[in-house]
């Protein structure tokens, strides 16, 4: 505890104006401060944890200085217990500031002294705090070990308050492993313990964690219910650090349920409170949520502003510092385990010496020499093993890095080849309609007055048709690129493909009528699937447009469906030009020049079909093609009837 005591003295002297603790002061403490008085001060200091960390830290330091000084003068264990609890509270403030390495140094000293003096309640509290910090650092095995120590100790002494805290933390472990319903059960038990023991902050935390669990399960109504309970309880007790955290999660909930105005309101509230209580993690989370919300509603200026704020706050939190703390904590854990082992061996040898007091000095010297030799051999062997392990680890890391670099090089080569081919396709298919439009306009300008109106109308009509083709091509390029880069709004839900097909066909009937093509819709009513309606509409429109484009005049296009136990397929059949087997194999491939597929004016890039394939992959569907040259083609896509997570 020496290092800890020194730091406490520094903090306390600054706060108290360098007050000296003389013998007279100690007598004053004995006469004026009872154990009950310091317990009251500890309780008051605990309430500051969620309100003012700096004040809480200073107050805990002050209590430690006073009670430890009285204990050293009187040897009354009650003061020592209060001193250790104040030291523990002091360490907790560093945990809440994510300064885990500093907190762990103090935790270890406090737990060691608490075990030495038999303060089992404090042992349970420190073990739980250890587990919570390991959980934050994602060392789940170490966290589970510490939580089990805390729970068994709390059960042994019958402390239901600590049991409630630890059970809630074990629920967090369940949540991290994806076992949501087990997590909810743990949180429910913890809520009951905390409520019965009057731990308001514990109730708020587990209400919020229950809400977060329901949020991950997409049960938004249940999540909102628990968030609002947490906010109400935190506001009533003026625990502003917990209030702003709950507001941030409410903003996230509203964002995920597309209630963007309320999401903005809750995020702004969270930001205002987080600035007051210096919750940088809440600021970072709220800025990130506002970035996504403003991007979703098309307010790009605000989205850019909050994205910049989020990046700045993320840099402040510094992932590098977090990794450094992880490494330091893990190193401290290894050092702590080694010290424990040496301490066990030392105690064992002490027992042997105590039992061997009547033996001769010669035997004692022999035993000590043997022990020294064993320790030297043990240390030597351990150092050799450690060096070998480090060398093996370095070799493994080096080999892994080489393999990763080779794989990245290969992937980059493939991506560059595909990009070059893609640019080649686009350069041809963008320049071709532009050249046609330019030639038509040059003819009109250069021969204005010599062409009759019908011929000029024909040239303008051709230019307009080429413009529409160019517009369609560019739209497909942009959509395809957005899906490749995952920049889209994906909102799957239950949709009726019959209604969707009726709406889509009605939009394309005019295009079909110009070529005397009739579209027959035989998609069964009640054809329900789970997918994004806008995306599936784009797929069906693309397939129908292609069918009209490649169909002969005075022909028909059939749209029909087939259903199985858990899937539903929609077919678009035309009796047009058709394709050869080799042309079919070229579809859906970026590395193939698809403008060679088709005849005369009906050739295309195939980007529309690539877009369809990307959309269906996102909706866990698939696309299939059957075609015969001169007889027509059948394009079909298949979707799951219900692809939602089990609730």
- Which of 277 and 505 is assigned the larger pLDDT? 505
Check residue 328 and give its pLDDT. 47
pLDDT digits (tens, 9 = 90+) for 43-79: 888 777 766 778 888 888 988 998 888 888 888 888 8
| pLDDT at position 374 over 80 | yes
- Which of 589 and 380 is assigned the larger pLDDT? 380
Q: How many other CB atoms are found less than 10 A from the CB of residue 640?
A: 16
Question: Stretch 239-259: mean pLDDT, rounded?
Answer: 86
599, 469 contact by CB (below 8 A): no
- Read out DSSP for 334-353? HHHHHHHHHHHHHHHHHHHH
Question: Stretch 363-368: mean pLDDT, rounded?
Answer: 88
Question: Stretch 588-610: mean pLDDT, rounded?
Answer: 60
Phi-psi region of 75 (alpha: psi -120 to 50; beta: other; left: phi over 0): left
d(CA 204, CA 215): 16
Q: What is the mean pLDDT of the chain?
A: 79
d(CA 242, CA 51): 9
| pLDDT at position 456 over 50 | yes
pLDDT digits (tens, 9 = 90+) for 110-123: 999 999 999 998 99
- Which of 232-241, 412-421, 431-440, 499-508 bottoms out in mean pLDDT, i.e. has the lowest? 412-421
Of the candidate CATH numbers 1.10.287.130, 1.10.540.10, 3.30.70.270, 1.10.287.990, the domain formed by 380-485 belongs to: 1.10.287.130
d(CA 90, CA 107): 10
∠ at Cα 390 (385, 391), nearest 5°? 100
Q: How many other CB atoms are found less than 10 A from the CB of residue 339?
A: 12
- Which of 587 and 271 is assigned the larger pLDDT? 271
Q: Where in the chain is the domain with CATH 3.30.565.10?
A: 493-640
- Read out DSSP for 528-589? EEEE-HHHHHHHHHHHHHHHHHHSPTT-EEEEEEEE-SSEEEEEEEE-SS---HHHHHHTT-
Instruction: Read off the tokens for 526.
Output: 């009640």
- Which of 132-141, 344-353, 618-627 bottoms out in mean pLDDT, i.e. has the lowest? 344-353
Percent of the chain with pLDDT over 70: 79
- Which of 33-47, 374-388, 535-549 bottoms out in mean pLDDT, i.e. has the lowest? 33-47
Check residue 349 and give its pLDDT. 58
| pLDDT at position 356 over 50 | yes
| pLDDT at position 488 over 70 | no
- Which of 356-365, 369-378, 408-417, 572-581 bottoms out in mean pLDDT, i.e. has the lowest? 408-417
Check residue 589 and give its pLDDT. 73
- Which of 518 and 40 is assigned the larger pLDDT? 518
DSSP helix/strand/coil, 603 = coil
Q: Which of 224, 193, 222 is nearest to 206 (CA)?
A: 193
Question: Stretch 149-178: mean pLDDT, rounded?
Answer: 86
Check residue 505 and give its pLDDT. 92
- Which of 426 and 535 is assigned the larger pLDDT? 535
Q: How confident is residue 476, by pLDDT bands cut at 50, 70 and 90? A: low
- Give the CATH fold of the 493-640 domain: Heat Shock Protein 90 (3.30.565)
Percent of the chain with pLDDT over 90: 18
Q: Which of 277, 336, 275, 269 is nearest to 109 (CA)?
A: 336
| pLDDT at position 634 over 90 | yes
Residue 119 burial class via C-beta count within 10 angstroms: exposed 0-12, middle 13-18, buried 19 and up:
buried
Q: How many residues does the chain have?
A: 647
pLDDT digits (tens, 9 = 90+) for 519-532: 999 999 999 999 99
Check residue 543 and give its pLDDT. 93
Q: How confident is residue 647, by pLDDT bands cut at 50, 70 and 90? A: very low
Q: How confident is residue 185, by pLDDT bands cut at 50, 70 and 90? A: confident
């Amino acid at each position: 505890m020496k290092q800890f005591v020194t730091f406490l003295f520094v903090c306390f002297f600054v706060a108290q104006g360098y007050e000296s603790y003389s013998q007279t002061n100690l007598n004053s403490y004995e006469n004026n401060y009872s154990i009950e008085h310091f317990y009251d001060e500890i309780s008051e200091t605990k309430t500051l944890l969620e309100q003012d960390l700096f004040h809480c830290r200073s107050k805990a330091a002050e209590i430690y200085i006073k009670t430890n000084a009285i204990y050293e003068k009187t040897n009354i264990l009650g003061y020592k217990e209060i001193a250790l609890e104040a030291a523990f509270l002091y360490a907790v403030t560093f945990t809440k500031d994510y300064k885990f390495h500093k907190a762990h140094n103090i935790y270890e000293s406090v737990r060691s002294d608490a075990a030495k003096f038999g303060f089992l309640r404090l042992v349970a509290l420190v073990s739980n705090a250890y587990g919570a910090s390991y959980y934050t650092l994602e060392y789940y095995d170490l966290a589970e070990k510490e939580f089990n120590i805390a729970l068994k100790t709390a059960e042994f002494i019958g402390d239901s308050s600590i049991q409630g805290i630890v059970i809630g933390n074990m629920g967090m472990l369940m949540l991290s492993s994806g076992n949501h319903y087990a997590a909810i059960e743990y949180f429910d038990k913890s809520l009951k313990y905390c409520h019965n023991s009057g731990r308001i902050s514990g109730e708020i935390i587990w209400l919020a964690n229950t809400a977060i669990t329901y949020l991950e399960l997409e049960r938004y109504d249940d999540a909102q219910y628990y968030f609002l309970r947490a906010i109400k309880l935190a506001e009533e007790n003026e625990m502003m650090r917990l209030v702003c955290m709950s507001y941030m999660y409410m903003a996230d909930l509203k964002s995920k349920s597309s209630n963007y105005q309320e999401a903005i309101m809750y995020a702004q509230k969270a930001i205002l409170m987080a600035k007051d209580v210096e919750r940088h993690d809440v600021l970072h989370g709220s800025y990130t949520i506002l970035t996504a919300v403003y991007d979703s509603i098309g307010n790009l200026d605000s989205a850019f502003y909050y994205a910049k704020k989020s990046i700045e706050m993320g840099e402040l939190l510094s992932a590098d510092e977090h990794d450094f703390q992880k490494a330091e904590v893990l190193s401290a854990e290894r050092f702590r385990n080694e010290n424990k082992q040496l301490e066990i061996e030392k105690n064992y040898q002490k027992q042997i010496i105590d039992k061997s007091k009547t033996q001769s000095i010669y035997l004692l010297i022999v035993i000590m020499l043997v022990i020294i030799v064993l320790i030297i051999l043990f240390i030597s062997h351990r150092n050799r093993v450690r060096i070998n392990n480090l060398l093996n680890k370095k070799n493994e890391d080096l080999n892994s890095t080489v393999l990763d670099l080779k794989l990245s090089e290969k992937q980059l080569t493939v991506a560059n080849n595909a990009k070059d081919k893609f640019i080649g396709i686009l350069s041809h298919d963008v320049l071709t309609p532009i050249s046609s439009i330019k030639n038509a306009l040059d003819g009109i300008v250069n021969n204005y007055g010599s062409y009759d109106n019908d011929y000029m109308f024909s040239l303008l009509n051709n230019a307009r048709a080429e413009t529409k083709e160019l517009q369609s091509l560019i739209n497909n390029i942009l959509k395809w690129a957005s899906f490749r880069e995952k920049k889209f709004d994906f909102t799957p839900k239950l949709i009726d493909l019959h209604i969707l097909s009726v709406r889509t066909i009605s939009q394309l009937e005019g295009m079909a009528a110009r070529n005397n093509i009739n579209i027959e819709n035989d998609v069964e009513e009640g054809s329900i699937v789970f997918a994004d309606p806008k995306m599936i509409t784009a797929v069906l429109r693309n397939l129908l447009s292609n069918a009209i484009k490649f169909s002969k005049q005075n022909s028909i296009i059939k749209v029909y469906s087939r259903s199985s136990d858990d899937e539903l397929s929609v077919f678009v059949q035309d009796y047009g030009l058709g394709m050869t087997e080799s042309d079919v194999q070229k579809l859906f491939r970026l590395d193939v020049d698809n403008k060679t597929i088709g005849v005369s004016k009906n050739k295309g890039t195939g980007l529309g079909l690539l877009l369809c394939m990307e959309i269906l992959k996102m909706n866990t569907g698939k696309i299939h093609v059957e075609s015969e040259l001169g007889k027509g083609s059948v394009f079909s896509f298949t979707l799951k009837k219900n692809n939602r997570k089990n609730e």
